A = this chain, B = another copy of it.
Amino acid sequence: MKKIRPSTRDAILEAAFQTFNQRPGASLGDVAKHAGVGRATLHRHFSSREALMTALAKTAMEELNTAVDAAVVDATSHSEGLRLALTAIIPLANRQWFLAHELVDRDPAIAAAYKRDTEELVAEIEAARAEGTFADDVPTKWIAETYENLIYGAWTMVRDGDATASQAATLAWRTLTDGLMGDQK
């Protein structure tokens, strides 16, 4: 087995994440250029644009699950689990978000994995609700929606240099549970 550049595939994936995040319609030539490889090499690793997209989705979800599992292992409650997961997800949000928009529908396997992840989030929210973390009259769907959107907002803050990942995570969790009201503390 010979591999002059074992990282070629990873370099392409990394460049693809960055490129498609800025411009979802970017050409494979752009991706190859950003990766510092020839366009033909990209096709040697990913036979088609479709294949590259699928690999990106797979990679993003694996990274996400790994990070969340590692972060949640020490949680002492479902509520704390949600808080720790949120913190762990923020640095990966850029990788996760662009696939959620329209990439998921293509590959059935990806769609199934995504659905499974969403159901896990919903289950976790239900469990946290039982701990008193969320009001009874708020739909779980809304909590999940807010959870995900706050992550995106937190990642935006970090990306723009307006907060550290830790600060953004604290703000997001505080917003989710207590809101941002001032006087009626």
Contact = CB atoms under 8 A, between A and B. Distances in A.
A138 to B, nearest CB: 5
A166 to B, nearest CB: 14
Interface stretch (A40-48, A115-123, A168-176): A168-176
Most buried by B among A22, A145, A184: A145
Nearest to A141: B162
A178 B102 CA distance: 33
A157 B180 contact: no
Contact count band on A: 35 or more
A138 B182 CA distance: 9
B157 A171 contact: no
A143 interface: yes
Nearest to A132: B183
Contact of A133 (B163, B174, B181): B181
A177 B134 CA distance: 15
Nearest to A173: B179
Contacts of A23: 102
Interface in A117-160: 129, 132-136, 138-139, 141-143, 145-146, 148-150, 152-153, 156-157
Interface of A: 22-25, 102, 129, 132-136, 138-139, 141-143, 145-146, 148-150, 152-153, 156-157, 162-163, 168, 171, 174-185
